[in-house]
């Protein structure tokens, strides 16, 4: 495949996703999905999971020769890809994104609860028997021009027999005012038209939710069309106010803050005349918005509730989320697909809730907050409300609209971070230039085997690369301190034989450089002292960093790069086994969050069980997140409950 792809350029590597670029890459997406469908017709036992595994393997190894791929489906995908690349070559990065898009399409249908949801969709889209594929591929209706309005009669003729189709809920699919137009892009972000994607597969509530997402998207696009560079509404003043609110220089605001800015602008910002910004735009350009759009914007202006909310429960199948505002305790029942799939009980989020036509929805981004800082958020909000005059002068919901930027950007003090040995955590790193052979260094580490474990040595004499673990020292018993919030950090590695090692850091030797990493400053300094004493003049310090992580600043605008490197299957099994053993042994470890008692002791009292349940909720959430990211995981919460008999 490598022979048919172009080298990456600065322009192509900036492409992050094929979302809204599906048409441009249809000559790759179409052939690959067609070959998957063809394989499905001949192998009825095929499942989405098998397709997903094949796509992942091709994505990881497409630069290797064709002989590398042994599975028939992988070979078909590669053949289809090569044919497409011969007709229109694309870069390696773009091809990686093509395969990632198909993986996203598969995972995006998991909520349907079928092991063949993606394959069933292919059947529906391309044709059930795999015949006349080319003709079926052109079935989507032509889009209706934006300014063209159909009469009721024309609309009924346009809808045809599909209008009376019933979905799995027995609900008749119609084109009424609360249904997503069938020719619109489906709101599941598959890039396909609604009529050939999710239409007929949703409950009435879910259909209305998709319709509202579509209408709100149209409203936002119309408002944006009236902004700069058209010049009709100047944004500079609003940008400056927003940048000041989030503590940023307007000139340093990057794309990552764009969505956050427009969320604030649409739902919460005020125009110079005191009106809600979106309502002011709609009132200023009444001919640009239909009556339904005007009604929705009026709801934005009247029924917008920004604030900090605690998640009480979520139901991913029905897209239901229940949240409670942390200050006044008001509860909201929300319809939200992505929120229902990503939020879980106990989470703390900053978001805006809108009531539209009597129902509540999340509007804009869901900003997850540290749950351990709930009391600090409550204290901050209470003080700010009192400064504004309290309930005597301003109702709470009006106050949160006025101070939404300040609340969303409040940064509570970080909890005290400790390593496993009771020391305050420090991120320590030192880099040395070597004037000695690596073999001599390795001999020194081997002689001090009570302090170090040589995990791996690669290469030949003169070009060795080594990885060394810094072994644990005797653990310090941590006392329970109810007055000071603390997080305890653990560090473990697995050597090449599969043995679990409790580690205090690592040492990497490669080329003429040695790097030392540790989260214990005393251990870090002792190792440096011993090395410099033993190899005076033979190792030269080039750089040293000792950082307090509680003071570290993270760039909110930095792009999040997904690590696509997959762990070898044989090593994944070893890692999973050790993770399972770890959680079994965890039941007999003294845990500061439980009052310095073991989980086995904690379950004997009501207070202990409540603290343990809170920890298990977090474990369950972390396991689900790892699973969704296709990372090695074990059901930690289930293992612990089984071990403790609860």
pLDDT tens readout for residues 88-138 = 889 999 999 999 889 888 877 765 667 888 888 787 666 543 443 333 323
| pLDDT mean over 443-452 | 86
pLDDT of residue 618: 73
Strand partners, 233: 227
56: confidence class by pLDDT, cuts 50, 70, 90: very high
Question: Which position has the token pair 């735009």?
Answer: 281
245: confidence class by pLDDT, cuts 50, 70, 90: low
DSSP annotation of 23 reads T
Weakest mean pLDDT among 130-144, 235-249, 296-310, 569-583: 130-144
Whether residue 219 has pLDDT greater than 70: yes
- Strands 416-419 and 486-489 come out as parallel
| pLDDT mean over 490-515 | 66
Question: Which position has the token pair 């009669």?
Answer: 153
Weakest mean pLDDT among 149-153, 209-213, 375-379, 441-445: 149-153
Q: Is the dihedral of CA 532, 535, 537, 540 positive or negative?
A: negative
Q: How far is Cα 335 from Cα 361, in angstroms, rounded to an integer?
A: 6
> How far is residue 30 from each of residues 35, 345, 509, 565, measured CA to CA in Å?
9, 40, 47, 26
Name the residue with higher pLDDT: 545 or 616. 545
Whether residue 204 has pLDDT greater than 50: yes
Alpha helices, DSSP H, located in 20-142: 26-42, 48-61, 72-87, 92-107, 117-126, 133-137
pLDDT of residue 223: 81
pLDDT of residue 261: 76
547 near 426, Cβ under 8 Å?
A: yes
- Report the SS3 class of residue 454: strand
Residue 557's nearest CA partner among 320, 305, 261 is 261
| pLDDT mean over 316-332 | 92
pLDDT of residue 303: 87
For residue 202, the Cα-to-chain-centroid distance in whole angstroms is 24
pLDDT of residue 415: 62
Percent of the chain with pLDDT over 70: 73
Average pLDDT, the chain: 76
pLDDT of residue 331: 94
Residue 266's nearest CA partner among 253, 252, 280, 254 is 280
Whether residue 73 has pLDDT greater than 90: yes
Neighbour count for residue 100 (Cβ, 10 Å): 17
414: confidence class by pLDDT, cuts 50, 70, 90: low
pLDDT of residue 543: 92
Consecutive H or E run containing 590: none
Return all residues near 383 (Cβ < 8 A) that are at least 6 apart.
Answer: none
Whether residue 7 has pLDDT greater than 60: yes
52: confidence class by pLDDT, cuts 50, 70, 90: very high
pTM of the model: 0.53
- Report the SS3 class of residue 407: helix
Weakest mean pLDDT among 74-78, 126-130, 135-139, 157-161: 135-139
pLDDT tens, residue by residue, 448-485:
888 888 877 877 655 678 888 887 654 444 444 433 44
pLDDT of residue 111: 58
| pLDDT mean over 337-350 | 84
Name the residue with higher pLDDT: 596 or 222. 222
Weakest mean pLDDT among 152-161, 278-287, 333-342, 405-414: 152-161
pLDDT of residue 286: 79
Q: How far is Cα 541 from Cα 528, in angstroms, rounded to an integer?
A: 10
| pLDDT mean over 8-34 | 84
Query: What would you report as the CA-atom Rg of the chain, rounded to the nearest whole angstrom?
Result: 29
Return all residues near 564 (Cβ < 8 A) that are at least 6 apart.
Answer: 59, 60, 96
pLDDT of residue 46: 92
270: confidence class by pLDDT, cuts 50, 70, 90: confident
pLDDT of residue 553: 54
């Amino acid at each position: 495949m490598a022979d048919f792809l172009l080298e990456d350029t600065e322009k192509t590597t900036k492409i992050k996703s094929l979302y809204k670029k599906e048409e441009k890459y249809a000559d790759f997406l179409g052939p690959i999905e067609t070959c998957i469908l063809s394989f499905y017709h001949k192998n009825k036992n095929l499942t989405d999971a098998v397709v997903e595994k094949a796509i992942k393997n091709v994505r990881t190894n497409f630069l290797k020769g064709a002989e590398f791929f042994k599975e028939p489906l992988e070979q078909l995908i590669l053949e289809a890809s090569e044919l497409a690349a011969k007709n229109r070559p694309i870069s390696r990065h773009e091809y990686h994104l093509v395969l990632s898009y198909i993986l996203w399409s598969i995972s995006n249908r998991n909520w349907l609860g079928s092991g063949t949801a993606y394959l069933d969709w292919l059947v529906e889209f391309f044709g059930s028997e795999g015949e006349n594929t080319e003709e079926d591929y052109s079935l989507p209706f032509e889009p209706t021009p934006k300014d063209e309005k159909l009469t009721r009669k024309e609309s009924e003729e346009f809808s045809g027999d599909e209008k009376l189709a019933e979905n799995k809920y027995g609900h008749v699919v119609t084109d009424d005012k609360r249904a997503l137009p069938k020719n619109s892009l489906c709101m599941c972000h598959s890039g396909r038209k609604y009529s050939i994607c999710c239409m007929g597969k949703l409950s009435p509530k879910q259909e209305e939710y998709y319709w509202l997402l579509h209408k709100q998207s149209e409203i936002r696009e119309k408002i944006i069309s009236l902004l700069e560079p058209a010049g009709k509404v100047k944004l500079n003043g609003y940008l400056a106010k927003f940048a000041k609110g989030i503590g940023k220089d307007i000139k340093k605001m990057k794309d990552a803050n764009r969505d956050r800015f427009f969320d604030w602008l649409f739902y919460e910002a005020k125009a110079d005349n005191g009106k809600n910004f979106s309502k002011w735009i709609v009132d200023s350009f009444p001919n640009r918005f239909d009556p339904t759009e005007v009604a929705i914007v009026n709801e934005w202006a009247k029924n917008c509730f920004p604030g900090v909310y605690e998640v009480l429960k979520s139901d991913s199948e029905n897209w239901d989320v229940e949240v409670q505002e942390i200050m006044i305790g008001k509860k909201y029942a929300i319809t939200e697909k992505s929120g229902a799939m990503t939020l879980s009980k106990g989470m703390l989020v900053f978001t805006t809730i809108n009531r539209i036509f009597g129902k509540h929805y999340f509007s804009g981004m869901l900003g997850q907050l540290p749950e351990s800082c709930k009391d600090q958020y409550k204290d901050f909000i209470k003080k700010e409300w009192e400064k504004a005059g309290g309930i005597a002068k301003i109702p709470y919901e009006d106050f949160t609209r006025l101070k939404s930027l300040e609340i969303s950007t409040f940064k509570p003090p970080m909890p005290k971070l400790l390593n496993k040995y009771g020391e305050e955590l420090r991120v320590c790193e030192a880099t040395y230039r070597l004037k000695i052979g690596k073999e001599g260094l390795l001999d020194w580490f081997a002689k001090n085997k009570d302090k170090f474990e040589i995990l791996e040595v690669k290469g030949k004499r003169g070009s060795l690369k080594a990885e060394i673990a810094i072994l644990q020292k005797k653990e310090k018993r941590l006392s329970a301190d109810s007055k000071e919030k603390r997080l305890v950090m653990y560090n473990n590695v697995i050597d090449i034989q599969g043995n679990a090692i409790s580690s205090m850091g690592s040492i990497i030797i490669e080329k003429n450089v040695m790097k030392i990493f540790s989260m214990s400053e005393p251990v870090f300094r002792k190792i440096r002292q011993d090395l410099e004493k033993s190899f005076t003049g033979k190792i030269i310090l080039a750089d040293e960093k000792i950082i307090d992580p509680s003071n570290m600043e993270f760039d909110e605008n930095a792009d999040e790069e997904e690590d696509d490197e997959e762990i070898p299957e044989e090593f994944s099994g070893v890692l999973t086994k050790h993770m399972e053993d770890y959680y079994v042994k965890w039941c007999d470890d003294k845990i500061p969050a439980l009052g310095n008692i073991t989980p086995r002791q904690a379950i004997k009292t009501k207070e202990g069980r409540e603290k343990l349940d809170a920890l298990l909720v977090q474990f369950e959430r972390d396991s689900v997140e790892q699973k969704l990211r296709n990372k090695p995981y074990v059901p930690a919460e289930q293992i612990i409950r089984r071990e403790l008999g609860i």
